[in-house]
Amino acid sequence: MLVSAWKERGRRDLAPALGAMVAEVIARPGVAAISFVPGDRERGRARGHVPAERLARALADRWELPCERLLARRGTARRQAGLPRSERSANVRRAFEPSAESPDAVALVDDVYTTGATFSACSDALSSAGATDIHVLALARAV
């Protein structure tokens, strides 16, 4: 319910508290910067924010790390929610590209981890931009 309110109902005010929750359970990673899975423009407009970016910025503030926009979306992929496992990887395979050179070590933040397909696609793009050590962090795990 909390994740849904934050993610789908535009509760931007929850980001600092959710960042604090994540930081209580996950130790500050040994990275040079934090980045995030870029949101789809249309969904971002509908929600009023990009949850992964809000969480990344809250964690960056708490851990005193820079938050950098290192990735961009290519076009619009279908929503991952509702897709079967077998289609998720193909859906996001080339959906992301680097938007800047990446530091060697970076933490990549998303709101919900389901199959890992989005993290995998984003990690490929970060690797092509110079990242060699990528830590993935999410607020929630869908089962």
Q: What tokens does 12 get?
A: 């931007």
pLDDT, greater one: 63 or 140 = 63
Q: What is the C-alpha to C-alpha distance for residues 64 and 53, in angstroms, rounded to an integer? A: 16
Q: What is the C-alpha to C-alpha distance for residues 25 and 22, in angstroms, rounded to an integer? A: 5
pLDDT band at 68 (very low <50, low <70, confident <90, very high): very high
pLDDT band at 90 (very low <50, low <70, confident <90, very high): low
What one-character-per-residue DSSP string does 78-129 give? PPSTT--HHHHHHHHTTSEEESSPPPSEEEEEEEEESSSHHHHHHHHHHHHT
pLDDT band at 67 (very low <50, low <70, confident <90, very high): very high
Please compute the mean of the pLDDT values over residues 77-92 and round it to a whole number.
61
Please compute the mean of the pLDDT values over residues 114-132 and round it to a whole number.
92
Q: What is the C-alpha to C-alpha distance for residues 17 and 29, in angstroms, rounded to an integer? A: 19
Containing domain of residue 59, as a range? Answer: 2-141
Residue with tokens 């959906």: 95
pLDDT number for residue 45? 58
CATH no. for residue 98? 3.40.50.2020
Please compute the mean of the pLDDT values over residues 123-130 and round it to a whole number.
96
pTM over 0.85: no
- pLDDT above 90: residue 72: yes
Going by the DSSP 8-state scheme, the letter that residue 28 receives in this structure is P
Distances from the Cα of 82 to the Cαs of 30, 93, 123, in angstroms?
Answer: 34, 17, 23
Please compute the mean of the pLDDT values over residues 42-61 and round it to a whole number.
78
- pLDDT above 70: residue 9: no
In terms of Cα–Cα distance, which of 45, 46, 32, 43 is closest to 126? Answer: 32
Number of domains comprising the chain: 1
